[in-house]
Amino acid sequence: MRADVDYQQTDYLVIGSGVAGLRAALELVKAGSVVALAKADTGESNTEYAQGGVAVALSDDDEVECHFVDTVSAGDGHCDENAVKVLVSEGPARISELIEWGAAFDQEGNKLAFTGEGAHSRRRVIHAHGDSTGREIVRALRQRAQMESGLRLVPHTFIIDLLVENDRCRGVLSLDRASSRLCVWQARAVILASGGLGHVYRDTTNPDIATGDGFAMAYRAGARLCDMEFVQFHPTALALPGVPRFLITEAIRGEGGYLRNQRGERFMERYHERAELAPRDVVSRAIVQEIQSTSQSEIYLDLSHLRPDFVRRRFPRVYQTCLGYGLDITRDRVPVHPAAHYMMGGIETDLYGRTNIKNLFAAGEVACTGVHGANRLASNSLLEGLVFGARAGQGALSVESRADSPADPIDLNSFLARPAAAEVAAERLSLQKIMRNFAGVLRSGDGLREAAKALGSMPTSQLDGGWDSTALENANLLTVARLITQAAEVRKESRGSHYRMDYPSRDDETWRKRIVLCRTAEPSFKPLLDADRP
């Protein structure tokens, strides 16, 4: 063993402390010791910022079949229908379980309160504290986790790389961000639940920690990634100069909010029959196209026709945040613009989180079961984290019971010397500008090839003199940027969140298949199969 590296061991290792990671950890703790590593504080994750709610078929006028149909429809012909069947069928039980664990969702009388969102045919979205649903879910899961003596949450730990030998994941190499010490964590199974990659774009609703680390480390380790061209842009992020792109929940449009151009006109009816409640990809494109076609610089969200007391009570977090920037959403028009929000693609898994690397599992946004297809149905992500987080935990329980012994050391030299682990993007802002200009809401073949050329020419270097988490984040962002542009250039059609101006139509005959990327092979294709209805 190396004296400059700490060594730790557990039965099961979870990377991430959001909804998928915590739910997986709670499944695993039934059978052994569990350590969950968080990049920042254990309460900081994409889940924490999820406002709108959880889509689940629990209301009296809803059915699992309807949720299935809406999810597949929003996915624009690209969903893995078996995964959707699992999501909508197991979702009600996972929500009921969460309520038993103390999650307090908003109610009307003695029943759950439901709201509508884009592309839903029923009011099936439950919420907490108006617009703080993700925060409440994390609170309930953490409270439950603290009751488990075999579960340990470790904050401020940056994962440098997966430790994979002979196609088997044995653990991870991490950096303690407080002490700058390297640490090897060994486990019989590792579950990646590290969240998203929003900061590959300058305008994003994601927290600072969302730098695509899980995608990049899995790719370096030889995992298969698919659907990387499908990045969802949320239509309504706050668009004030010098202000972070704060998410303004889709539930506002579900409750009757309007989108208006600078002339005060509602314009969404020209783009889709469901107007403001069209699927997210449609609304995002409509906003960009409206700005381009009318030479107007801003689009606004308007709630002034709704009762002020209702708006303040229903959306307290949005109301208070905007008020802090001088906007009263009950009377002022709120400038909005699409921002990178969610990655539909990721590490290819089966329905129990298994990857092509033995003992490595993935769940949540970093994983791709195909459940979201080409465009995630609003408020399905929190449900996905609960359902497939639990399933990834169940999958990991099937791993052989013997964990590696500290006497069976990992050859760290091969990992520390690996150039890909020390690749550094010259400048994050340059990378983000390339992605915004050429791989954003609207794309073209020429632009994507220019992006690939620019990203390919970004200099790389070894990290001499120590480990720097910011440089490692930049390296991960560079990796995922290259994967997104590569997949987007290959897919010569428009589908869901992937819109090619040079191929504006959907082409099922040629492109009803997944693009699979792997470091050790050329891009390959996986046909889509339909499932029986639930």
Residues catalogued as catalytic: 280
Whole-angstrom distance, CA of residue 162 vs CA of residue 219: 10
3-state SS, residue 526: strand
| Sheet order of strands, 125-126 included | 54-55, 125-126, 114-115
413, burial (CB in 10 Å: exposed 0-12, middle 13-18, buried 19+): exposed
Q: How many residues does the chain have?
A: 534
Q: Could you tell me the sign of the dihedral formed by the alpha carbons of 159, 165, 169, 171, in that order?
A: negative
Q: Which helix (H) or strand (E) holds 314?
A: helix 308-314
3-state SS, residue 76: coil
Tokens describing residue 481:
């940027």
Whole-angstrom distance, CA of residue 25 vs CA of residue 145: 8
CB distance 191 to 13 below 8 Å: yes
Beta strands in 263-326 (DSSP E): 299-302
Whole-angstrom distance, CA of residue 506 vs CA of residue 508: 6
Q: End-to-end distance of the chain based on CA atoms, in angstroms?
A: 52
Tokens describing residue 414:
């091969």
Burial state string for 334-345 with b = 16 or more CB within 10 A and e = fewer than 16: bbbbbbbbbbbb
CB distance 484 to 343 below 8 Å: no
Q: Which of the 8 DSSP states describes residue 404?
A: P
Q: What are phi and psi of 314, to 5 degrees?
A: -80, -30
